[in-house]
Structure 1
């Protein structure tokens, strides 16, 4: 996919534009580093998922993964666009409720839910607490008993499906920390059914990881869940009314085809991500068809999933393309021994952490020199006092390019725009090295630009500390 295939991008007077706004002008007005989100793109992404899955199945709900980008204004846009919410902590649950989501629009994941968080979820009558272990189920029973209020739950299973993405982003096998292994699921179902005065068991859940690029991974995980559900139905009579297939819908990144020469094949395929929402929706919903289920599960199970609600938890697919990050070049240097030119920018892993944690690739353009051909390779580094604060693989993992190519004249003062940063950018910002966090802007559908999270000032670095 080429950059300008997405009409959210453009150029005018030699400057890169995002949703009709000149990014150079925004950087001059608001300073850098600076995140910018597009209301139009956020809504379009939510609506695309809803529409594509809605073509193939009547009962579908989209629960946006708040961990990707939980700025209140973004959550409000997702809600108004027809999305529901998935949260991973009491804090995200609080922000979701604050942003206008109702309890019955929220599902709660997580491997380490505290009793306080479980209590908060039950009191707010959320749609489902996705139970991560037998121990957690027993904890939910205790809290529900104390509150004298039923908890709605689903069981998060381990489908034992590896997606081939970055290892830290795989969540569907027993090697990860998530979920109940298949040999324990029926035990959990029976425990829930024995305690129907305390919990309402609604169904099952899995999530196999972010940026899943192979359709077979989605299908294999779903088949595992369906076959397990049919087997448990035959032995217990439990009929699920919710099936949650998690997230992982892929986002195409603007990566040069030559990257296939140095990147591991799976990482290149993950970032290139040619799998469409339509393909995923058609295949997933097809697996739930009555005649198909009857074929492998028998006549008694044919209608088992007929009225079941299908849930998804997309995050990156909704917010990634809706955000850009602007960073100013502050310094340059030559390493003549290596024949290398370096650029130092004001956004490092304190501002965009996934470059460091997962060697995640974000495409860069010199936003104020779009009329000049990018012909010169540069090494790009952030401002933090760490040799690892760079935009290449300093440890030689080869998941990132060694150089980024900009115009020959690129120099301090120029502006670098990073694309597809709307997921896992602002939530992971830190004040490392005493650096104030970047501000966040929103481009409204009517073209207005507003601040939705002010850039920090130095005083903010000590605002929550107590002086002796």
Structure 2
């Protein structure tokens, strides 16, 4: 096997994923196809856990479900003894179907419905992340009606902006998420919760954004959480059991990206919390993180079959695949960049003229890759895009009434279908005649 610069293996000139020939996967399951190398998922979880254990702190690695939620994904997280965070009733339901332990679930969201909150309470979700005053009122009523209690944490906006796409920033003051610290919203929320005997105030949560490459923002957020803890300890005699610093650790999508290893972010965060807690005379809290993209993203591959070609003289050639923005909207939504290879010609030398990889959807913006050099391309070739595991299938749609792809997990040379490809009948199953 030959290992190339962008961390992929080949055999007989074919791209290998988890010991399985990707071209054979494309032929067996059809394309578009989403493939996950499960060993990469397990490996990254292990790296995160090792950081905490080496630093001798209590912790949880809480997988951020929004990156990619499915029954099989939750089963992997259960096998790895992970915590998960969910953001909807649908994710709670899927976790239940997977047999995931509800005490290791935290429920996020800035507009949880009464029905979703009741579902969380009735199924004994481990902790509910309170995001606003309306939600505190809703949850209080539900707890009273059900005559029960629950763990809660406050999500705060620490006033720290991450260096990332503006849509991926969540920690700044001007955000739809959480209680603002500077205006004392967070302090007011704390008082309400502490005075409610049905709510056990477990800790504080902050999340500054996604796809972040710099450590400084995380360290600043961690220190701010400790400072806030010290302030609340002095004023209210309250000390958080848990500081949850969120996720957002950046990964490599293209050759332009040069992220540090995700676990190095965590090491810096843990050391900052330990040092600051010691300075403030506080007990060291448990430290939780919520990685999604950094666990699942690098493990994912999208396989497409190449169809038509359009050559625009003196501009560029458009190479069209049988998927596009319906199974990966990130390039259209965020101008996200990806790398790819021809899976059936993985070691061939690329041609000098760059091409543009276009999707099949009726939108001019449906371009998966703007500029890439590939070997000689023919209809029927299989294109494999790297690092598509996060927010691809999770945001997939039936735009143009195209079918959502199948999802396959591979590990140790074995492949298993974990999500079936939609059928045309699936598209109209909920439709009613007029």
Give the TM-score band, short-chain normalised. over 0.9
Contact persistence 1:46–1:82 (CA under 8 A)? no
Residues 388 and 253 from structure 1, CA distance in 2 versus in 1: closer, same or farther, beyond 3 angstroms? closer
Q: Map residues 304-343 of structure 1 onto 2, 5 A cutoff.
A: 304-306=282-284, 308-336=285-313, 338-343=314-319
The equivalences for 1:188-337 within 5 A come to 188-196=189-197, 198-256=198-256, 271-273=257-259, 275-289=260-274, 292-295=276-279, 297=280, 302=281, 304-306=282-284, 308-336=285-313
1:395 is matched with none
Deviation string for 1:150-207 (max 9, x for gaps)?
A: 12100000011111101111110122211100021111111111112x2111110011
| Contact in 1 for aligned 2:36/2:299 (Cα 8 Å) | yes
SS in 2 for 1:411: coil
Asked if 1 retains the 8 angstrom alpha-carbon contact of 2:18 and 2:38, the reply is no
* Residue 259 (structure 1) aligns with: none
Q: Tell me what 1:454 maps to.
A: 420
State the secondary structure of the residue aligned to 1:374: coil
Aligned equivalents of 1:348, 1:317: Cα separation in 2:
23
Q: What's the counterpart of residue 328 of structure 2?
A: 352
Whether the 8 Å contact between 1:57 and 1:285 is mirrored in structure 2 is no
Indicate if the aligned counterparts of 1:46 and 1:78 stay in contact, CA closer than 8 A: no
CA distance in 1, matches of 2:243, 2:283: 9
Deviation per CA, 1:243-280, whole angstroms, max 9, x where unpaired? 11111122223415xxxxxxxxxxxxxx321x223432
CA displacement, residues 126-155 of structure 1 (integer Å, 9 cap, x when unaligned): 221111012211221111111111121000
1:57-77 deviation line (CA, Å, top 9, x unaligned): 331111101111112112101
Q: Which residue of 1 aligns with 2:380?
A: 413
Give unpaired runs (5+ residues) of structure 2: none
Contact 1:69 / 1:424 at 8 angstroms: preserved in 2? Answer: yes
State how many pairs are aligned: 430
Asked whether the equivalents of residues 15 and 343 of structure 2 are also in contact (C-alpha less than 8 Å), the reply is: yes
Asked if structure 1 preserves the Cα contact closer than 8 Å seen for 2:160 and 2:173, the reply is no
Retained in 2: the 8 A contact 1:19–1:38?
yes
CA contact (8 A) 1:53 1:278 kept: no
Q: Is the 8 A contact 1:206 1:246 kept in 2?
A: yes
Offset of residue 83 of structure 1: 1.1
Distance in 2 separating the partners of 1:418 and 1:18: 12
Checking the alignment, whether the CA contact within 8 Å between 2:9 and 2:17 is kept in structure 1 is yes
Cα RMSD after superposing both structures: 1.7
Secondary structure of the residue aligned to 1:443 is strand
Which consecutive aligned stretches of 4+ in structure 1 deviate over 4 angstroms post-superposition?
A: none
Mapped to 1, the partners of 2:422 and 2:208 lie a distance apart of 36
**1:370-412 C-alpha deviation (Å, 9 max, x unpaired):** 23211330011100011111135xxxxxxxxx411111x2122
Show the counterpart of 1:467.
433
For residue 354 of structure 2, give the secondary structure of its aligned residue in structure 1: strand
CA distance in 1, matches of 2:99, 2:16: 31
Q: Under a length normalisation based on structure 2, what TM-score does the superposition of the two structures give? A: 0.95
Whole-Å separation in 2 of the counterparts to 1:154 and 1:456: 38
Q: Structure 1, unaligned stretches of length 5 or more?
A: 257-270, 393-401
